[in-house]
Amino acid sequence: MQFTSKLVCDGVTVAGQTKVSGMIPISSKKYSKIDHGTGGVTWEGEVSDDAPICDTVYAGGKLEFEWTKDGEPHPDYRKHEEVNDSNQDRERKFSRPEDDTITDWKQTVTTADGSSTVYTGNIRRSGNLHLGGARGDSLGDPWAFFPLAELFGRGYRIPDLAPTTGDSKLTIHTAVNLQVYLDHNPDGFHDGAWEIGQTLDDLGLVIAQGQIPGLEGIYWSLSEFIFDPLSPTGWVPSTGPAGWLDSVQFQANLGPIVVLAAHQQDDRSEVFSDGFESGDGTAWSVSIDGNKCSGDTCP
């Protein structure tokens, strides 16, 4: 048996997480709260010092965001689900709770053209037990999850890819090994020289077997990602090797793949001795129509 709770507020339907009997009751999880003045979203007021993750709820679309633990829904936090029935995009800023058990997050954006899901986690080889440890000394060890809090303050920019087929049920899945991504290419394609609304063809990029040569720590699939600690990548398609995205074949059959949005977080790594960060620590994303969410400028 399944049940879903819903709350309607200011023209935005916020749907509670659908639960299956035998799982943790939904009432035991902390729920998300929206500050409609700032677009900020917190879980019962818990907020860490890290910069928020900003996303767009497209007009006529849906946004889902959840904190996760070891690649699975976090037992303490409900998924934030929001349907935008208006004709204007809405920006949301998700603040991570101060909780070291949060190791990753998952976000899904749905529009009339298609859907995009992004899995982002702090995973690294389990033999490298601390961030200052030597790299490459644990390549034979399995992957493991570590707290997102360990990556506090490091800036990044992640492209969010989506189909343009007009089929909202068709999803391109992105998985990010955030530790590797930050170490090698924190700004994504072409060292950050990419824009919202560009296609892979515009950028001269090809995804083969779920990867772009020279770009590390980010993978694409046509099925959901699962965590495989013994795999070369950590994240793997749930359908096996056949699930890896081949952009040439996909675009020949279904049309262009577009950069739908960008997940960006400003660098906060430089901290003064009195504890104040240098810089505003803003995280923002830009919607396909050019709207930008940046810190307190988010509507």
What are the Cα distances from residue 130, in Å, to 146, 184, 189, 231?
A: 10, 18, 28, 21
State the average pLDDT over residues 268-282: 38
CA-CA distance, 87 to 281, in Å (whole number)?
Answer: 30
Mean of the per-residue pLDDT values of the chain: 79
CA-CA distance, 240 to 226, in Å (whole number)?
Answer: 10
254-258, 260-264, 274-278, range with the lowest pLDDT: 274-278
By the 8 A CB rule, do 61 and 111 touch?
Answer: yes
- Residue 286 banded pLDDT, cuts 50, 70, 90: very low
Amino acid identity at 55: D
SS3 132: coil
SS3 173: strand
CA-CA distance, 177 to 234, in Å (whole number)?
Answer: 8
Instruction: Identify the pLDDT of residue 3.
Output: 24
What tens digit of pLDDT does each residue of 220-245 get? 999 999 999 999 999 999 999 999 99
- Residues whose CB falls within 8 Å of the CB of residue 244, separated by 6 or more in sequence, listed in order: 209, 210, 211, 219, 220, 221, 222, 237
- Percentage above 90 pLDDT, the chain: 55
Instruction: Identify the pLDDT of residue 49.
Output: 74
Instruction: Identify the pLDDT of residue 13.
Output: 34
What tens digit of pLDDT does each residue of 42-98 get? 998 778 877 788 888 889 999 999 999 999 999 999 999 999 999 999 998 899 999
Whether the per-residue pLDDT at 204 is higher than 50: the answer is yes
